[in-house]
Amino acid sequence: MVRQSKIGSLSLVFLLAVSLASCDLIRMKKEEAIELESRKAIARVNNTFLYLDELAGLVGANSTKEDSLSRVTAYVNSWVRKQLLINEAMKNIDINEAEVERKVLDYRYSLIGYEFQNFYIKQHMNDSVSDAEIETYYKEHIDNFVLKQNIVRGTFIKVPKEAPRTKRIKELMFSKKEKDIEELNSYCLSFSSAYHLSDSTWIEFDKLAANSPLAEIPNKIQFLKTNPYYETSDPQSLYFLKIDDYKISDNISPLEFVREDIKNIILNKRKVELAQKLEQDVYENAIKTKDFEVFNNQ
């Protein structure tokens, strides 16, 4: 009788535990349902919903109402398209869910690592590049700076045919007097529809000649060699060109033409070095503090 009583007591406890667990499960499901009901859905693709709280952080605090609406609309449309594509993929191909999850994790880690690298680089980056550094890099890598196009230094002016004093433009272009240089600059500001005034800046000849009869010249190399000054026209405009210097494609680029490119190369190299240093420092510190282990399960 005693044994039966104990068994009966255990059964009662078990049933009570199952009942409590069932109640907890029902309560959790109800809470989840209430939570889902309280969330505002803004889009649906089949049984997958996009909720308003999932857009947190998408719009900046200083964004205008129009910018915010445009960004949210673009995101929602993108989400719908991606979900439709995923659904279609699930219907047509076998998806290795484990492999997908691994790739998602790898991508997540890459994003977090990238953000931390950017933060670290901003904190430690020296963005000052001296002329000496640029010149040294140029000399050491000069074969990398072969021109892919013809470049020029000079003056180019386009004016409407009805513009005043067009006969004086050539005189002003060749003058070295300060007052004439100022007059030419003022004239271009007032009447020219496109112009590039002479300075130390190199510019691609094709870019300078764009949207003008000069763009139709068949042999531009021969043209540059034989025309230090050139005038032409079309039905609406007059064009004036004075070439102070030129470099032909396949020759070494002058330093001034690639100065900004070299500066960017040096800065990018520093960023890579800082990123590598960060990764190595984190790894070496973790070794010292024994923050990780690699287990041999073979």
The CA distance from 176 to 162, in Å, is 27
pLDDT of the residue at 28 = 53
pLDDT of the residue at 15 = 41
The CA distance from 163 to 238, in Å, is 9
Q: Specify whether the CB–CB gap between 194 and 158 falls below 8 A.
A: yes
The CA distance from 161 to 172, in Å, is 18
The CA distance from 210 to 225, in Å, is 19
Taking the alpha carbons at both ends of the chain, their separation in whole angstroms is 56
For residue 139, give the amino acid letter: K
pLDDT of the residue at 122 = 94
pLDDT of the residue at 38 = 72
Task: Give per-10-residue mean pLDDT for the chain (298 aa).
Answer: 42 42 50 61 92 88 87 93 92 88 92 94 95 97 96 96 95 95 96 90 94 93 96 96 96 95 97 95 93 80
Residue 195, C-beta contacts closer than 8 angstroms, at least 6 positions apart: 155, 156, 157, 158, 188
What does the block give as tokens for 264?
């960017």
> How many of the other CB atoms lie within 10 Å of CB of 221?
13
